[in-house]
Amino acid sequence: MVYLDNPAGRIQFRLEKVRALPGNTKPVEAWAEVFSISPIEVRHVVREGVRLMDQAAEARRKIEALADQDPHVVLRNFHEVETTVARFAHITAIGTIEDFLNSLSPSGLHAAELCSSILHRRSPEPFVAVEQRQRLIENVDALIAEVNAADDLDREVRGFVVEHLARIRDAIRNSPYNGTEPIRREVDEFLGTLVSKRTFWQRLTEDKVLAVVTLLAIVDSILSIGASTLQLMAREESKVIVNVYNTATGCNVPEPKEPGLRVVPVHGGGDVQEAEIVGDDARPAGG
């Protein structure tokens, strides 16, 4: 059984896929097929390989952090997995995928499966179901198309928004294999840049600001990642973002449509001067 809600399971999944390819395949071509990218872009193959290396390290850390597990037993042959994925550092110097995998025995692959089974039960990560993932991708694509077609946005703002939305979309698309952490990073970077470049909000039109805020709230709600939109509740940036929105549009802050998140006035009045994003349990009485 392969579980994709933890780093060990994602590595197991990809190792099993690449092991099924002909042994005389060049490593770059084999891994490019597994990663669904062009073998011409060697740097992209290496980038995905580095992510596997990071996931191997994360799997080890998570297993070692479990108090009721003996990591020496569980991780006994996991070093074979780590040695194998470390070969991405010199992938172009390796002749065949069989050579690339020659340090990975059935025991090593079983170690990845064992770690995955334990982490699936004890420390599963947020996982986006196929239907939710497709819906998110469609929402992001629709917003990208809308921004690209907007005549009322200057080129710099349009390029900035489209670039970050595309990166969020790609992270969502690849989440079954890379986990949700890349989505977390992309959302946080987008929000962080918006906080530091407040004039971007003022140069966005009202409907685009609403669309961006709503989309990020939906992403946060579906993934329950809690480290981007919701985390801003505990910092002044949440008030900054919404205040800039109010300044830019001259309107009351609208509520995101996804259940569980809404933007509400801090003091509850109808004339919104200051607001923040909150969860259901933090809504003001009568809100």
Which of 98, 8, 22 is CA-nearest to residue 57?
8
- Mean pLDDT, contiguous 10-residue spans, the chain (287 residues): 91 96 96 90 91 94 90 94 96 96 96 95 85 88 88 83 90 85 83 71 69 72 51 41 50 43 38 37 39
67: helix, strand or coil: coil
What's the N-to-C CA distance of the chain in angstroms? 46
Q: What is the pLDDT of residue 282?
A: 41
CA distances from 135 to 20, 69, 130, 186 (A): 31, 38, 9, 18
Q: What is the pLDDT of residue 206?
A: 65
Q: What is the pLDDT of residue 233?
A: 39
235: helix, strand or coil: coil
What is the 8-class DSSP label of residue 275?
A: E
Q: What is the pLDDT of residue 193?
A: 77
Q: What is the pLDDT of residue 284?
A: 36
